Amino acid sequence: MQSRFCLFLLLALSLSIIISGCGKRPRSTADVPRSVSHSYVVHVAPFTQPIVSAQLITGSIPEPQGRISENQLFALDQQMRTILSTETSRQYKFITAIDHPREITQFHNAGQPQALPLWLDYGKKQGAQLLLVPQVLDWHEREGSAAGVTTPAHVRVEFFLLNVDKGLVLGRSIFEEKQQGLVDNLLNVPSFIQRRGQWVTAEQLCTDGIRKAAKDLGL
């Protein structure tokens, strides 16, 4: 049994090398890191979850939408702070929940995204030139354990880098994943190996989204 598993793992590793070799060309412009001068201090807003279209900078609300708890939002704030501070080489100002009540996105309902002016105004009040806005669009926790699940974790998170002075969206990074096993999709070999064959939590998935955003947005 052990030799069978080793053979399977060897085949999986070989396939991952082939896949990574074929994936050198970016799939979209979002995969190309933008060049943002390191002279800028990037202000980082806490995670929020839009629940109506009017709270969106762009895009749409998933239906049905999985909701995230307040405690989980704070946990993501800490993950964001850790990853950006230790894995990138620029200056940040992390806006705390005291500075930035999460109710900033709780305003009138409407059918179209219109939150950009609100975030730009908030950025000005914070003295920001560049503002990073992370949002959780969909959140479904793992049902089960690292060894096996009845329902895997599924998240969709989006990140917007705003130029506050010019009123522009400099970049947008989207990460969405519902974890699948190798039996369901062999293209998951690289992440399978990286996660040691375990079923991860929604928060662990989101950390991959934060790292992707740092790369996509040139941080």
Rg of the chain (C-alpha set): 19
| Measured CA distances, 26 to 60, 119, 157 (Å) | 25, 29, 20
Say if residues 136 and 83 touch (Cβ distance below 8 Å).
no
Asked whether the beta carbons of 67 and 16 are under 8 A apart, the reply is: no
Domain ranges within the chain, ordered by starting residue: 32-216
Q: Identify which has the larger pLDDT, 199 or 21.
A: 199
| Average pLDDT, integer, range 108-119 | 76
Q: Given this model, what pLDDT does residue 211 score?
A: 96
Helix, strand, coil fractions of the chain, as percent rounded to 5: 40, 20, 40
pLDDT confidence of residue 11 = 46
The pTM of this model reads: 0.77
Among residues of the chain, what percentage have pLDDT more than 90? 50
Task: Specify burial of residue 17 (Cβ count, 10 A radius: 0-12, 13-18, 19+).
Answer: exposed
Bridge partners, residue 198, by sequence: none
Average pLDDT over residues 81-96: 95
Helices 70-87 and 202-216 sit at what angle, rounded to 10 degrees? 40
**The pLDDT of residue 39:** 83
- Which tens digits make up the pLDDT trace of 34-84? 567 788 899 999 999 999 888 999 999 999 999 999 999 999 999 999 999
Per-residue confidence (pLDDT) for residue 2, from 0 to 100:
41
CA–CA distances in Å: residue 63 to residues 66, 67, 138, 201? 8, 11, 9, 21
Kindly indicate whether the domain formed by 32-216 is annotated with CATH number 3.40.50.10610: yes
Bridge partners of 176?
A: 156
pLDDT digits (tens, 9 = 90+) for 148-194: 556 788 899 999 999 999 999 999 999 998 776 545 545 555 565 56
Range name among 12-21, 174-183, 200-209 with the lowest pLDDT average: 12-21
Question: From the CB of residue 116, how many other CB atoms can be counted at a distance below 10 Å?
Answer: 17
| pLDDT at 35 (0 to 100) | 66
